[in-house]
Amino acid sequence: MTIDTASAVRSAVAQLRDTVCALHAELTRYELVVWTAGNVSARVPGEELMVIKPSGLPYHELTPAAMVVTDLHGRLVDGHRAPSSDTAAHAYVYRHLPEVGGIVHSHSTYATAWSARREPIPCVLTMVADEFGGDIPVGPFALIGDDSIGRGIVETLRGSRSRAVLMGGHGPFTIGRDARDAVKAAVMLEDVARTVHVAHQLGRPPRLEQEHIDSLFHRYQNVYGQQGEPTS
């Protein structure tokens, strides 16, 4: 199948194919996935389209040309491989959360362990407050293959400041302004999931005061870093 659209859209899709392919390498670099698990997707700005990893392709075989384009109902628009098995979930999130420009699903060890426990990661660290604005919530268990996971993500994150959700018995999903932002959230999520787990081995750490969480989140999101550049 091919995209029959204006040259500007074709150019945007080509750029996103490059970006999404490169960002998958970040998942392996930070050890957030194994084998063929996990995926990154990006919304095509201004279009009812997204770019996502194909299903079951090993990470070392990923190229920009291998990335596939679907509409926001998960139907293949451009590419020669079947889209990720999580495509319907990503598509549902894009349809219902228009501010989201990128989505990541990983099976990172510590965040997935919290998902298995169906236990939110409590906001006991400034990094959790900075990046996620409070406790990192748990979403419902849902089977893979249709938009059930997407529904759980939207129901859990709609109205929440968190950019991560721990889907019960499955693993983490993160969202962002774009795909890079969502990958950053996935990396930060695994880091805090590991640290809070270690803290729990020593006892139950106290949750930060809500007023401090609010202040930290505001500062990090609006003041920290260089004006006009992504936080890092």
Instruction: Identify the active-site residue in 170, 178, 181, 191.
Output: 170
Residue 169 pLDDT greater than 50, yes or no: yes
Mean pLDDT, residues 84-109 taken together: 98
Which residue would you say has higher pLDDT here, 224 or 181? 181
Helix, strand, coil fractions of the chain, as percent rounded to 5: 45, 15, 40
Question: pLDDT-derived band of residue 4, with 50, 70 and 90 as boundaries?
Answer: low
Instruction: Kindly name the residue from 30, 59, 107, 197 that is annotated as catalytic.
Output: 107
Label the pairing between strands 164-167 and 138-139: parallel
**Residue 53 in tokens:** 């990893």
| CA–CA gap between residue 195 and residue 203 (Å, rounded) | 13
What is 7-222's CATH number?
A: 3.40.225.10
The one-letter code for the residue type at 131 is E
Determine which helix (DSSP H) or strand (DSSP E) holds 78, and give its type and residue range.
Answer: strand 76-78
Instruction: Tell me what pLDDT residue 232 has.
Output: 54
Question: What backbone phi and psi angles, to 5 degrees, belong to 85?
Answer: -65, -15
Domain locations in the chain? 7-222
Element containing residue 11 per DSSP (H, E): helix 7-29
For residue 112, the model assigns a pLDDT of 98
Residue 105 is among the residues annotated as catalytic for this protein = yes
pLDDT greater than 60 at residue 2: no
The pLDDT value recorded for residue 124 is 98
Is pLDDT above 60 for 185? yes
Residue 28 C-beta-side C-alpha neighbours within 13 Å: 13
User: pLDDT digit string (tens) for 16-29?
Assistant: 999 999 999 999 99
Is 218 catalytic? The answer is no
Residue 138, class by beta-carbon neighbours within 10 Å (0-12 exposed, 13-18 middle, 19+ buried)? buried
The pLDDT assigned to 74 comes to 97
Among the listed residues 105, 110, 147, 178, the single catalytic one is 105
Cβ burial, residue 62 (10 Å; 0-12/13-18/19+): buried
Per-residue confidence at 1, pLDDT binned at 50, 70, 90?
very low
- At 224 the pLDDT is 86
The pLDDT of residue 225: 78
Instruction: Reply yes or no on whether 107 is catalytic.
Output: yes
- Name residues whose C-beta falls within 8 Å of residue 165's C-beta, 6 or more positions apart in sequence: 136, 137, 138, 139, 152, 153, 156, 157, 172, 173, 174
HSE at residue 167, side-chain half, CA atoms within 13 A, is 24
Residue 203 has pLDDT above 60, yes or no: yes
| Residue 10 to residue 59: CA distance in whole angstroms | 24
Residue 211: how many other CB atoms lie within 10 Å: 8
Active site residue 86: no
Task: Tell me, yes or no, if 224 is annotated catalytic.
Answer: yes
pLDDT(197) > 90: yes
pLDDT band at 43 (very low <50, low <70, confident <90, very high): very high
* % the chain with pLDDT above 70: 95
Quote the CA–CA distance of 16 and 95 in Å, as a whole number: 19
pTM, entire model = 0.94
Amino acid 6: pLDDT? 77
